[in-house]
Amino acid sequence: MRFGVVRFPGSCDEVDALHACRRFGDAELLWHGDRDLTGIDAVVVPGGFSYGDYLRVGAIARFSPMMEAVIDFAENGGPVFGICNGFQVLCEAGLLPGALLPNDSLRFVCRQVEVVVEATDTPFTRTCQQGDRLSIPVKHTTGRYFAPPGTLPEDQIVLRYASGQNPNGAMDDIAGVCNAGRNVMGLMPHPEHAVDPLTGSADGGRLFESLAMVPA
Amino acid sequence: MLIRPKAGILDPQGQAVERALPALGFEGVHNVHVGRLIELDVEDAGRLPEMCERLLANPLIEDYEIVNHVDGPEARRDHQNAGLDAPRRVNA
């Protein structure tokens, strides 16, 4: 399994994401201005502030040459995993339903939360059991997930914040969703910051481990 | 282009402003919403809706309104300056 981790100007979590991927497979950085995904089995779109979050979070990054290649890759069934700003980019790109709005508190939140696994039939959660609780940090200002009525089937909700732990006012406590084809997933919490017990939890590694099991 | 949060979507920024105004003595203010303004000069105004749909707004969460200043940027700036000057004259 070879992961590719996209680096935009303004990304800040790509090195942690690379480190998380390397616990379970090979990984390399992909520059936003390139469009070559030769040899890549799964793409991670990491957190940060791509293109300064100008206009709207994720709005400009969505048009980068690398994202054009990632959209093609996803449309051909390749697994794509968007974390935080990466989730926002994938929504803007139309690869995932819905959008991310400013937190209801209007504040940056940075804390450990528990998320509940709602779906295990995805390449990202296949090592989990339904109802598993994963302890993973969130850190964002624009994480309030919203999808217009009728645009998000229930079976595309992959992760929910545990009861009472919704940090941003997200609709139905939604923390992560996938597309209809189940090969694209986005989430606001940061599993790449929870891959080593040294930092409090290794639960985030379960998602990278699942992804590494995708047949290359 | 005037871009606003869609009706029915929680707008905490608008709510925060609405709560702040009475603290300054501005009573009777309701339905405050905070959006953004994008100014541009364009040769083919017919393409503006497409620009809004594809980049400038996110139609899932935002409404947009196109305001056309056909008299060009110079006139627009004069108009804005006049708007700034008016209250000063009132104060004088």
Active site residue A209: no
The CATH number linked to B32 is 3.30.1280.10
Minimal Cα–Cα distance from A201 to chain B, Å? Answer: 32
Does A101 contact B16 at a Cβ distance shorter than 8 Å?
no
Answer whether residue B87 shows pLDDT above 60.
no
Q: Which of A92, A96, A101 to mutate to test the interface with B (most CBs of B within 10 A)?
A: A101
Looking at residue B74, its pLDDT comes to: 60
Q: Compute, in degrees rounded to 10, the torsion defined by CA atoms B50, B53, B54, B55.
A: 110
Note whether ipTM > 0.90 here: no
Nearest CA of chain A to the CA of B79: how many Å?
Answer: 26
| Min Cα–Cα distance to chain A from B85, Å | 30
CATH number at residue A202: 3.40.50.880
Domain that holds residue B20: 2-91
- Record: contact A148-B55, CB cut-off 8 A: no
Q: Do A101 and B10 touch (CB under 8 A)?
A: yes
Average pLDDT, chain B: 83
Q: What is the pLDDT of residue B69?
A: 75
Gap between the Cα atoms of B3 and A84, Å rounded: 24
Domain limits at A92? 2-212
Q: Is the pLDDT of residue B30 over 70?
A: yes
Ramachandran category for residue A46: left, alpha or beta (phi over 0 → left; psi -120 to 50 → alpha): beta
Q: What is the pLDDT of residue A41?
A: 97
Asked if A146 lies within 8 A of B12 by C-beta distance, the reply is: no
On the CB side of A183, CA atoms within 13 Å amount to: 16
DSSP A197-212: GGGTB-TTHHHHHHHH
Residues of B in contact with A108 (CB under 8 A): none
Interface residues from chain A to B (CB-CB < 8 Å): 55-56, 59, 63, 92, 98-99, 101-106, 144, 146-148, 151, 169
Does any CB of chain A come closer than 8 Å to the CB of residue B70? no
**Res B72: pLDDT:** 58
Query: Does B72 contact chain A (CB < 8 Å)?
Result: no
Mean pLDDT of B26-50: 94
User: Would you call A11 helix, strand, or coil by DSSP?
Assistant: strand
Nearest chain A Cα to B3, which residue? A55
Please state the domain count of chain B: 1
pTM across the whole model: 0.89
| Residue to substitute from B52, B55, B63, B64, interface A, most A β-carbons within 10 A | B55
Give the Cα separation of B31 and B23 in Å (integer).
16
Is A91 noted as a catalytic residue in this protein? no
Instruction: Give the end-to-end CA distance of chain A in Å, rounded to a whole number.
Output: 6
How many residues are given for chain A?
216
Question: Number of structural domains, chain A?
Answer: 1
User: What are the pLDDT tens digits along chain A (216 aa)?
Assistant: 999 999 999 999 999 999 999 999 999 999 999 999 999 999 999 999 999 999 999 999 989 999 999 999 999 999 999 999 999 999 999 999 999 999 999 999 999 999 999 999 999 999 999 999 999 999 999 999 999 999 999 999 999 999 999 999 999 999 999 999 999 999 999 999 999 999 899 999 999 999 999 665
Instruction: Say which of B16, B60, B61 has its CB closest to residue A106.
Output: B16
Give the pLDDT score at B68: 84
Q: Is the pLDDT of residue B31 over 90?
A: yes
Residue B79 has pLDDT above 60, yes or no: no
